[in-house]
Amino acid sequence: MDKVNMAKNKNRRVFFRIYDEVNLFYKKIDEKSATELLNSRSLNNGIQPEGAALPLFKPDNNLPDAIMSGVQFNKSETCNINLSAGGLAFNCKDAFNEGDCLVIKILLASSMTVIEAPCEVVYCRSSLANDSDCPYFVGVHFIGMKGEDRALLDEYVDKKRLRRRWVNVAILIAVATVITLPDVVFGLLSEMLHFLFEMLLEFSHLAFEFIESNLDHLVEHLFETDVHQTQIIVFYIIVPFVFYGFYQLWCVVPPFCRRCKQQQIAYWSRKKANLLFYWREQSSLEKLKLIVISVAVIACYIFFGM
C-alpha cells in the first residue's frame, strides 16, 4: 500500500504546480457519456499512470460534439486552484469518487483564457480550509486535451513559473537582508515612512494655500469685499468641501479595509490549507528532516546571528 501511495504522489509531482485564481466550471460525465468518450479516442501508446481508472488519450483529439452539447456545467465563483500541465486541485461543494470522469472548463481570470478538458478524479478529501460552502478538496488529472488548449496551458504555466521564480528570489533577498541587518532595514523603513508623511503634509498644506489664495482673489474681485469679509466667505465655502471630502473618505476607507481584511483572511487560509496538505503528504522521515532543519536554522540564528 505504501508503494502505491508513493507512486501516486510521485505521479502528481511530475509537473510544476502553480496557484491561481480562476473561474471553474465542471460537470460529471455519466457512464454512457464516458463510454462514448472512450470510444471516440484512440488509446495513447505512452505509459499509463499507476492507479488510473481511465486510459490516457492523444491530446490533440477533441471531445465529441454530442457529449459537449449536452453538458450543463456547474458554475462556481472565482476560486483558487492548484494547477499544473497534468491536472488540478480545487475546492468544491460536490463529493466525487476516485475514478469519476469530469469535464472541466477553466477561465483563467488573469489572462481571460478558456481551457477545456476531460479529467479523472484522483482523490476527494475534506477541505482543510474549513470552508462550509466548498467542503471537499478534489484532485483530478487531465485524460485528454485539445492541442491548442495544451499549448495555452503550457505557456500559461511557464509564465507563472518564471514570475514565481523572480518573486521567490526577491522574497529570499528581502528576508536575508532583514535577518542579517535588522537595525539598518527598520531604520531606513522608519525614515522613509517619516519622509513620506512629511511630504504628504507639505503637499496638503501647499494645495490648501493655493486653493485659499485663489478663492480670496476671486471673492474680492467678484464682491469687492475687505479682508475680513473675504476670509469669512472663503471659510464658509471651504467648510462644505472639507466635510464632503471626509464623507467620501468614510464611504471609501472602511469598505476598502474590509476587502483587504477578507483578502488577507482568504490568503492565509489558503496558505494554511496548502501547508497542511503538503505536510500530510510527507513521510515521517521527511517530516523529521523538516523539523530538524528548521530547529537548526533558528538555533544558528539565535546563537550566531543576533
Q: What is the residue-wise DSSP string for 146-190? A: -HHHHHHHHHHHHHHHHHHHHHHHHHHHHHHHHHH-HHHHHHHHH
Residue 57's pLDDT band (cuts 50, 70, 90): very low
Top pLDDT among 80 and 253 is at 253
Residue 64 reports pLDDT greater than 60: no
Top pLDDT among 107 and 64 is at 107
Task: List 113's β-bridge partners, or say none.
Answer: 108
pLDDT at 11: 41
Top pLDDT among 33 and 261 is at 261
pLDDT at 47: 36
**Cell, residue 6:** 508513493
* 2-159 CATH fold: Thrombin, subunit H (2.40.10)
Residue 306's pLDDT band (cuts 50, 70, 90): low
pLDDT at 128: 62
pLDDT single digits (tens) 112-147: 778 888 888 898 888 765 556 778 888 898 877 777
* In the chain, where the domains are located: 2-159, 183-224, 231-306
Residue 43 reports pLDDT greater than 60: no
Top pLDDT among 301 and 39 is at 301
pLDDT single digits (tens) 154-204: 888 888 888 888 988 998 898 888 888 888 889 999 999 999 999 999 999
Mean pLDDT across 42-49: 38
Mean pLDDT across 244-252: 93
pLDDT single digits (tens) 264-283: 887 787 677 667 767 776 78
